[in-house]
Amino acid sequence: MDHTALELLELGAVFFGLGLLGRLANRIGMSPIPLYLIGGLAFGSGGIIPLGDIGDFTSLAGEVGVVLLLLLLGLEYSAAELITGLRRSWMSGILDIVLNAAPGVAVALILGWGAVGAMVLGGVTYISSSGIVAKVLSDLGRLGNRETPVVLSILVFEDLVMALYLPILTALLLGVTLLGGLSAVAVSVAVIALVLVIALRYGRFVSAIVDSSDREVFLLKVLGAALLVAGFASAMQVSAAVGAFLLGIAISGSTAENATKLLEPLRDLFAAVFFVVFGLNTNPSEIPPVLGWAVVLAVATTLTKLATGWWAARQAGIGNLGRARAGAALVARGEFSIVIAGLAVSYAAVPDQLSALATAYVLLMAVLGPIAARFVEPVSRALVRRPTARPATQS
């Protein structure tokens, strides 16, 4: 068969298969991320039917997916909201880092993956999935709940931490010296501060540059600007994802709202390809040896996220039921965890088993997170209403 015809057939099968998986996920009320990962595992190296002719396209499409994921995440926040969220949640954010990165760091060190592997796996277990959390809160009608601002503040803090973490991780993966690592931190802090200042004072000018009343022109300008900024950031050894995130923050007002509506279908398409590509690059035969560790991490980090949300909601004066809902809402892991693992694997600086462990872990947490959020309220109410045994009376 003609090479081009074969590529079109495989690419069409991938997209159509993603559509079927997405529809199945909607039917059963869960995030499609686990199904996309499973699809990639099925058709990757060691899978049922390996796909070998569309690797270049899917790899590039996966990179675009990461850029769009982070761009739209940045569009959700204004600089003022980020600063307010940071002030409100910094103590909870620090507790979040300590409790939820520690299990990943510990397991990586136990498995002998060294400092770089520990930093990678610590990041994988640390950050919640903003996309899954937002969808779950919306589906359950909890956007107006008292604990929801607490949850969103923690997510904002995590996103800012990622803006610092990813450049540092990139420097470590490249094997730079201590001085180089410190330089990466300094550059990251300076860039973030500069973008926040620009967004606060001159955000309307940035928005005006990319804005257009013509949808086609608007799409081309926003997407082109995102890819240019991401490419420039990558060339400067700063994460392309961080560059896209910062551009999203700088775009504000109605321009940000219109860009979100316009780019959401593209984000969903390319993000789905990204998750599939990560699955394609993971050998399913490597998952069983690390599945036990994935379960250990899933149990440990479910408890630590529950503790984080409980403590943060308690600090805000919220009752026990709201504290439980806040903790359960943060349980899900997803896109960012895979971004971190994918970045490490792309530099070939960590063992192959790490990608397998990350895949198994995210599969578990992307499913467990929505389940925990959905059932924490009835379970908590049942525990509160459970009658206590009365002391025996003397005759």
391 within domain boundaries: no
pTM, 2 dp? 0.75
50 within domain boundaries: yes
pLDDT digits (tens, 9 = 90+) for 224-269: 999 998 888 777 666 677 778 778 888 878 888 899 899 988 888 8
Residues 160, 242: Cα–Cα separation, whole Å:
9
What rounded mean pLDDT belongs to the chain?
82
pLDDT digits (tens, 9 = 90+) for 101-113: 999 999 999 999 9
Residues 174, 237: Cα–Cα separation, whole Å:
9
CATH code at position 146: 1.20.1530.20
Give the pair of three-digit tokens for residue 372.
């925990």
85 within domain boundaries: yes
pLDDT digits (tens, 9 = 90+) for 354-393: 888 998 998 899 888 888 888 887 887 776 665 554 554 4
137 within domain boundaries: yes
User: Which of the four pLDDT bands, split at 50, 70 and 90, describes residue 394?
Assistant: very low
Range of the domain at 296: 3-381
- Kindly report the length of the chain: 395
**Token pair 């250990």: residue:** 296
What is the per-residue burial (b if ≥16 Cβ within 10 Å, else e) of 250-278? Answer: bbbeebbebbbeebeebbbbbbbbbbbbb
Number of domains in the chain: 1
138 within domain boundaries: yes
Q: How far is CA 139 from CA 133, 186, 279, 345, 375, in A?
A: 10, 40, 27, 34, 13
**Exposure of 355 in the CB half-sphere (CA atoms within 13 A):** 26
Residues 196, 334: Cα–Cα separation, whole Å:
26
23 within domain boundaries: yes
393 within domain boundaries: no
Question: For residue 372, which of 293, 272, 301 has the smallest C-alpha distance?
Answer: 301
267 within domain boundaries: yes
Residue 147 is classified by DSSP as T
